């Protein structure tokens, strides 16, 4: 039985990804390789990490995703702001922030609940929407950690623009020596997109 490492996510418009690359270029150079940086094209907003899934379960997952997407209207979210988890004094994950309306939490909660009904483990952590830039390596020295904190304090990233969210995607992740490679398995349009297409259909 083949297993696929999968997750559910929202795409970020290429223009916003380009802005992120430009705005964080100096930060990446200053901090260096004590952070495992996410490749620019791999940056996305994760809604649910599913883990290793049997290929035979994909039909159920696509049905679930289609149903949850159809219950949520399209919405806009704003990308901007530099931060770190768990906090700025002990950064482990560096990220760009997301400001989004209630529809994002509604969509995420619906997917989380539906996945739990299918037997997938629930994530008890509060949802904090963000775009991961990189993860601090566990063997980072004190000097490297200080350099990271200083770089974060000295870097300001304001709003990078708005992203229209009109679909949600099921991805698979394949671990390669150069880093993970993501491939889209299925996309489900949000409700208002479906409604808009219906209105535009020829009579």
Are the CB atoms for 185 and 58 separated by under 8 Å?
yes
Residue in 138, 152, 196 with CA at minimum distance from that of residue 28: 152
Beta carbons within 8 Å of 134's beta carbon, 6+ residues apart = 28, 35, 36, 37, 38, 93, 94
Structure tokens at 123: 């994530």
Task: Report yes or no: 93 and 84 within 8 Å, Cβ to Cβ.
Answer: yes
Q: Which residues are CB-neighbours of 133 under 8 A, at least 6 positions away?
A: 20, 24, 35, 37, 38, 43, 94, 95, 96
Active site annotation includes 130: yes
* Residue 13 known to be catalytic: no
Catalytic residue among 109, 130, 169, 191, which?
130
Catalytic residue among 13, 44, 109, 191: 44
Best CA proximity match to 50, nearest among 38, 64, 31? 64
In the chain, what is the straight-line distance between the N-terminal and C-terminal CA atoms, in Å? 46
Residues marked active site are found at: 44, 130
């Amino acid at each position: 039985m083949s297993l696929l490492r999968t997750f559910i996510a929202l795409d970020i418009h290429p223009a916003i990804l380009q802005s992120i690359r430009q705005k964080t270029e100096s930060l990446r150079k200053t901090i260096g390789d004590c952070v495992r940086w996410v490749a620019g094209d791999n940056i996305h907003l994760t809604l649910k990490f599913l883990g290793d899934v049997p290929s035979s379960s994909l039909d159920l997952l696509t049905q679930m995703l289609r149903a949850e997407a159809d219950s949520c209207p399209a919405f806009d979210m704003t990308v901007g702001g530099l931060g770190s988890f768990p906090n700025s004094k002990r950064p482990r994950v560096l990220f760009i922030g997301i400001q989004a309306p209630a529809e994002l939490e509604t969509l995420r909660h619906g997917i989380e609940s539906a996945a739990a009904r299918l037997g997938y483990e629930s994530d008890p952590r509060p949802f904090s929407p963000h775009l991961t830039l990189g993860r601090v390596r566990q063997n980072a020295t004190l000097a490297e950690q200080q350099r990271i904190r200083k770089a974060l304090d000295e870097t300001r990233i304001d709003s990078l623009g708005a992203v229209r969210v009109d679909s949600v995607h099921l991805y698979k992740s394949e671990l390669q020596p150069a880093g993970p490679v993501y491939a889209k398995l299925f996309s489900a349009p949000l409700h208002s997109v479906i409604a808009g297409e219906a209105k535009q259909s020829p009579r």
